[in-house]
């Protein structure tokens, strides 16, 4: 287990990024400032025990994804703030420096729930 935390809730605009052409979520520790909390999936603070790598598994509320790329800033902000963008593009190169790109099933709003686990294995 490289990372293990639980979803505590989300801001009123956080799920809008799953729609249209965005297909990503912004995650932050519960300590995020309000202006960032409004657009983020919030989770309990967790310790990153080892760096995630391409090919690792990310589980989000019982949905399983494979990490396909990691942006150059994503590991730093995940360690320090519990923050990154989870992009469901399956891209082999990170689309943004703060992204972790994921391949797997389509994530729908109704699959997210408070108390659900966010894990990197």
Q: What is d(CA 6, CA 39) in angstroms, rounded to the nearest whole number?
A: 17
Interior/surface letters 13-52, b for 16+ CB within 10 angstroms, e for the rest: ebbebbeeeebbbbbbbeebeeeebebbbbbeebebeeeb
Q: Is 91 exposed, middle or buried (0-12, 13-18, 19+ CB in 10 A)?
A: middle
- Residue of 19, 43, 76, 83 with catalytic role: 43
76 counts as catalytic:
no
Q: Which residues are catalytic?
A: 43
């Amino acid at each position: 287990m490289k990372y293990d935390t639980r979803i505590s809730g989300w801001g009123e605009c956080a799920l809008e990024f799953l729609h249209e052409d965005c297909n990503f979520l912004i995650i932050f520790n519960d300590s995020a400032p309000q202006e960032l909390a409004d657009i983020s999936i919030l989770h309990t603070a967790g310790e990153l025990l080892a760096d995630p790598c391409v090919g690792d598994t990310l589980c989000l509320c019982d949905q399983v994804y494979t990490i396909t790329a990691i942006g150059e800033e994503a590991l730093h902000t995940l360690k320090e703030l519990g923050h990154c963008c989870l992009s469901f593009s399956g891209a082999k190169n990170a689309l943004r420096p703060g992204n972790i790109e994921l391949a797997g099933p389509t994530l729908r709003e109704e699959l997210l729930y408070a108390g659900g686990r966010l894990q990197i294995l």
